[in-house]
Amino acid sequence: MRAMVVKAPAPPSAAHEAQKLFFEIGMTQRAKVGTALNGLGLGFAQAHALRMLDPEEPMPMSALADRLFCDASNVTGIVDRLEARGLVERRAYEGDRRVKALTLTEAGVELRATVIELMSEPPAAIAALPAVDQRALRDILRRAVELL
């Protein structure tokens, strides 16, 4: 009878290890930001929607769904909650009156600025790195984003 040879799994690549670390930092940061957003009365999806809306340019709801990577029916619920708080308004879209476009109200523009500030805050673990490491990380991530 032949002995079965079991191969040891290959060690993870540096890219896999980096993704795991990136994910851990991201999830920790999302929890921290989520707590701050809850303090503003916003869920993460609502805050992300506010962030995606341009104060100068109405956006069709379908375009917001695309930018949020979700189904249009999900956007309806998100927008309903934002509209109930007076942060956005639905209006007929200029090019096609059948299409509903979203416009930020003055209160929406103000809250959006706060949301962008919160969501742009670097994770504590990255902010604690020496400036030279922060710049190196930024430059590496910039190159990765350029490959998208």
Which H or E run includes 98? strand 96-104
The confidence band for 110, taking pLDDT boundaries of 50, 70 and 90, is: very high
pLDDT at 54 (0 to 100): 94
pLDDT at 9 > cutoff 90:
no
Q: Give the rounded percent of residues in the chain with a pLDDT score beyond 70.
A: 99
The confidence band for 96, taking pLDDT boundaries of 50, 70 and 90, is: confident
**pLDDT of 20-35, one tens digit each?**
999 999 999 999 999 9
pTM here is 0.81
Question: Would you tell me how many other CB atoms lie within 10 Å of the CB of residue 102?
Answer: 25
Q: Which residues fall within 8 angstroms of residue 53, CB to CB, at 6 or more apart?
A: 59, 64, 88, 102, 104, 108, 112
pLDDT at 14 (0 to 100): 93
pLDDT at 92 (0 to 100): 84
Q: How far apart are CA 103 and CA 108, in angstroms?
A: 9
pLDDT at 1 (0 to 100): 62
pLDDT at 11 (0 to 100): 84
**pLDDT of 50-64, one tens digit each?**
999 999 999 999 999
Encoding tokens for residue 63?
């375009």
pLDDT at 97 > cutoff 80:
no
**pLDDT of 62-80, one tens digit each?**
999 999 998 888 999 999 9
